[in-house]
Structure 1
Amino acid sequence: MTVRNTQQYDVVVVGGGPAGLSGALTLARARRSVLVIDAGRPRNAPAAQVHTYLGREGTPPLDLLAAGRSEVAAYGGRVAEGEVVTAGRDADGFLLGLGDGSAVRARRLLVATGLTDELPDVPGLAGRWGREVLHCPYCHGWEVRDLPIGVLGAGPWAVHQALLWRQWSADLTLFLHTAPALDDDQAERLAARGVTVVEGRVAGLEVTDDRLTGVRLADGRTVPRRALAVTSRLTARAGILETLGLKPVEHEMAGHVIGTHIAAGPAGATDIPGVWVAGNVTGLLDQVVAAAAAGVRAGAAVNADLIEEETAQAVAAHRARAADATTI
C-alpha cells in the first residue's frame, strides 16, 4: 500500500469496548496521541444493562461506551468509527488500512476486538440472546431470580451450569440435549439440589408476546421456561492480529476446550513486539469490569514501553552531542 501524508499516532487502539476505551483513556492521560478505531459491534449490545461493575451497576452498555468515548476525547484522544482490514509493519511502525480506503500509522498497537459467542445450533436462540437466552449468572442471574429457568446441555459443562444457576432459582430444568449422559454421581447431585432433568433434543423456543415462555423438544413436548442458560463457544476476534502473524490458540478449562484466545503476558504484551491485547480477545471469561481493568494495565504497559524507547533515543542523542563537543 502506498501511503502519503498518513497521520501517525503514538498508539492506535483497535476496538472501542470497555477494554479499548480504558486503555485509550490511560494513554491519553499519559499525554500520548491516541486513536481508537471501533467497528461498532459490542458483544454486550443485546443486553439491557451492565452488572457487577462497581459504580456503574445497571448502566446500559451503549451508555457506558458513550461515556467512555467522551472521557477519552476530554483528554485529547480520538475515537473514530471504522474497521481495520489490513495491518503491516515497516521501519516507521505499524500501518493500518481501514475499510474506507484510508490508512493510519502507529508506533504501538493495542488490540481489544473482543470475542464472538457461537451459540448452540437451536432455532431461535440468537433472536433472544442477551434477553432471556443468557450465558452468565453473575451478569444476568439476579434479573431472572426465582423464575423458571432452563439450562441447555450442549457439552461437558451441563451439570456444572445447572448447579451454578440453581443458586438463582429453585425452579430449574436441565435439558440434556447434546450433553453426555449423566453418571450416577451427577444424577445424585442434581436430584439433591432439586434440578429436574429432561432428556431428548431441544428443537426450539416458544415465544409469546415477545417473551420466552417455553422450550420445545423434538418429540413435541414444551416445557414452560422464562429464561434459558446456554454455554457458547468463545472465539476471539483476531483477524487483524492474524494478519500480523499472531494466531489464536485454544483455551482450555478443566480439560475441555471452551474457545480460542490470543496468548499474552499479564499486562497484555503479545509475542509480536509493539502489540498488546486487552479484554475478551485474550481473557475470554472477563466481565466488563475486568476487561476495563485489563485495558488500564495494557495502556500503562504501552506507555512504559514507549518511554523506554524514547529514553534510549535521548541517551543516544545525548552521547552524540557529547562526542561532537569533544571533537570541537
Structure 2
Amino acid sequence: MEADTYDALVIGGGPAGLQAALTLGRMHRTVLLVDSGRYRNGTVAHSHNFVTHDGRAPDELRRLAREDLARYATVELREATVESVEETEDGFVARTSDGTVEARTLILATGMTDELPDVPGLAEAWGREVANCPFCHGHEFADRPIGLVGEGPSIAELEAILVPIGSEVITFGHHDLVKVERLEDGLLVQRRAGPAVELAGLFLHPSTSQAAPFAEQLGLDMLPSGCVRVDALGRTSRPRVFAAGDLAHVEELPVPMPSILGAAAAGQAAGASAVRFLANPDSEVESHPFTD
C-alpha cells in the first residue's frame, strides 16, 4: 500500500502542534497532525495566564483547537503514536501505530517528560497542588503559605517572585520531604525533621527529558538543557525539521519557558517557517541559520 504524502507532518497534539497545523492549514498546505493523547499538562485542571482563556481546562482548549482545525480541508488529525522517523532524500518517512506516513517537512511538538523526586504523594499532587510555574499556578495559592523545594539562585529568585502572593514562603531542601498528602484545599508536607507543614501549594523544578526519541533519531543539535536547539523561527539544525514548544528553545535561554501561550506562539513560528521552506526550499537551505 502506498504511503500518504503530506507537505508537513506535525508530531504532538498540544498547543504548539495544534497551532503549527493551523498555520499550515491556513496557507493551504497539506498537513497531518499525529496526537498520541499524552500531554505534559495532563493532570492540570485549569490553565492560566492565557488571555481570553484564563482558567479554562487544557482538554477544553484542545477541543476548541481541534474544532478550528476541522474547518480547514488540508488539515488531518490522527490519534496515533509515531514510533520512528527517518529522513529521506525528499523528506521524511514516519512509522506510526496507524501506518506509514511520508512528508516533505517535519514539525516536532512532542514536549518534555517531567521526572519528579521519589517522594510518596508527590506524583498524585503534580499539576494540582504541586507545580513548576508560578505564572501558571501562583495566584491560586494567594494569601496562604506556599512551599518551595530546592536551593541556589533560581530558588531565591522564585521565592522573591512569590513573596507578594503567599502569606509566607517556606523553602525546603531537596531531601527534607518525606511524604506529601493532598488535602481538601491544600497540601500537607511531612518533613524529615520538624512538624508537618500545611501549605496551599508547593513549587519545584523537576528534572526533564525529551518525551519522544525523534530528535535523537534525526541527529538534531541539542542544548545543555536537554532541549532541541532552535532559532527564533523554530528552525533546527536540519533544514526540513522544525521544533516548537517545551522540547526546544533558543540558545540565548538557559532553559525553555513553558506555557500554553508561549508554546502556541512557537508553533506559529515553526509552522510559518515550514511554509516558507515549502515555497522555496533551495533558498531556505542556503540561508539556514545553523549551516557551517
How much has 1:267 moved relative to structure 2?
Answer: 0.6
Give the stretch that moved more between structures: 8-17 or 84-93: 84-93
Q: Is the 8 A contact 1:236 1:282 kept in 2?
A: no
Q: 1:204 aligns with which of 168, 179, 191?
A: 179
How far apart, in 2, do the equivalents of 1:290 and 1:278 lie?
Answer: 9
- Residue identity matched to 2:63: A
Cα-Cα RMSD: 2.0
Higher alpha-carbon deviation: 116-125 or 260-269: 116-125
- Aligned length in residues: 277
The CA deviation string for residues 70-96 of structure 1, in whole angstroms up to 9 with x for no partner, is 211211211111111111122342100
Question: For each residue in 1:31-84, what CA deviation from the matched residue of structure 2 results, as whole angstroms up to 9, or x when unmatched?
Answer: 000100011111112112111111211111011011111211211211111111
Instruction: Return the offset for 1:207.
Output: 3.4
**Cα distance per residue 1:158-193 (max 9 Å; x no partner):** 322222221211222111344xxxxxxxxxxxxxxx
Aligned residue type for 1:231: H
TM-score (norm 2): 0.88
Query: In the superposition, relative to structure 1, how do residues 144 and 80 fare at CA in structure 2: closer, same or farther (>3 Å)?
Result: same
Partner residue of 1:265 out of 207, 231, 251: 231
2:274 pairs with one of 298, 302, 305: 302
Q: CA deviation at 1:5?
A: 0.9
Cα–Cα, structure 1 residues 167 and 87, in superposed 2: closer, same or farther, change >3 Å?
same
1:233 aligns with 2:207: yes
Displacement of 1:145: 0.6
- Structure 1 equivalent of residue 247 of structure 2: 281
Provide structure 2 residue ranges, at least 5 long, that are not aligned to the other structure. Answer: 250-255, 285-292
Query: How big is the shift at 1:154?
Result: 5.5
SS at match of 2:272: helix
Aligned residues of 2:92 and 2:103 also touching (Cα < 8 A): yes
CA distance in 2, matches of 1:299, 1:250: 25
Q: 1:224: how far off? A: 1.9
Query: In the alignment, residue 272 of structure 2 is paired with which amino acid?
Result: A
Q: Matched residues in 2 for 1:53 and 1:208: separation?
A: 27
* CA shift for structure 1 position 156: 5.2
**Could you list the per-position Cα deviations for residues 229-279 of structure 1 after superposition, in whole angstroms to 9, with x for gaps in the alignment?**
11122333341121112253212xxxxxxxx21001111111112000011
1:293 corresponds in structure 2 to 265
Partner of 1:255: none
More helix by share: 1
Task: Tell me the SS of whatever aligns to 2:53.
Answer: coil
Where in structure 2 are the equivalents of 1:31-42 lying within 5 Å? 31-42=28-39
Q: Does 1:218 align with 2:192?
A: yes
Return the alpha-carbon distance in structure 2 between the equivalents of residues 276 and 311 of structure 1.
16
Percent identity of equivalent pairs? 36
Matched with 1:81 is 79
Distance 1:286 1:128 in 2: 19
The CA deviation at 1:115 is: 1.1
* CA distance in structure 2 between the aligned counterparts of 1:207 and 1:52, rounded to whole angstroms: 24
Q: Evaluate the alpha carbon distance shift between residue 309 and residue 205 of structure 1 in structure 2; reply closer, same or farther with a 3 A threshold.
A: closer
Contact 2:180 2:188 in 1 (8 A): yes
TM-score (norm 1): 0.79
* AA matched with 2:179: G
Query: Residue 120 of structure 1: CA displacement?
Result: 2.5
* Cα distance in structure 2, aligned partners of 1:175 and 1:137: 17
Structure 1 position 133 matched with structure 2 position 130: yes
Greater C-alpha Rg: 1
Q: Give the Cα separation in 1 of the matches to 2:218 and 2:188.
A: 46
Q: Is the 8 A contact 1:238 1:281 kept in 2?
A: no
- For 1:83, the aligned partner's letter is T
Q: Distance in 1 between matches of 2:24 and 2:39?
A: 21
1:7-22 equivalences under 5 Å are: 7-22=4-19
Task: Find the counterpart in structure 2 of residue 318 from structure 1.
Answer: none
Distance 1:231 1:305 in 2: 36
Please tell me whether the aligned partners of residues 238 and 248 of structure 1 are also in contact (alpha carbons under 8 angstroms): no
Q: Distance in 2 between matches of 1:279 and 1:311?
A: 26
| Alpha-carbon distance, 1:214 to partner | 1.7
Equivalent position SS for 1:250? coil
CA–CA distance in structure 2, aligned partners of residues 147 and 6 of structure 1:
57
Q: What secondary structure does 2:220 align onto?
A: coil
